[in-house]
Amino acid sequence: YMQATLAIIVADAAAYHAPTFPSRRDEYGADVASLLDLAQGIPSFAVAGAMRALTVARAGEADGVLDSHGVDVLAVPTTPITAPTVEEARDPAVAGRHHIYTMPFDLTGQPVVAVPLNITPAGLPTSMSFVGRRWDERSALRAARAWELVRGPFPAPAVALATNG
For residues 23-46, average pLDDT: 89
pLDDT tens-digit readout, 125-157:
889 999 999 999 999 999 999 999 998 887 776
pTM of the predicted structure, to 2 decimals: 0.74
Checking if the pLDDT of 103 tops 70, the result is yes
Q: Dump pLDDT digits (tens) for 41-82.
A: 889 999 899 899 888 888 888 888 888 989 999 999 998 888
Q: Within its chain, how far is the Cα of 6 from the centroid? A: 11
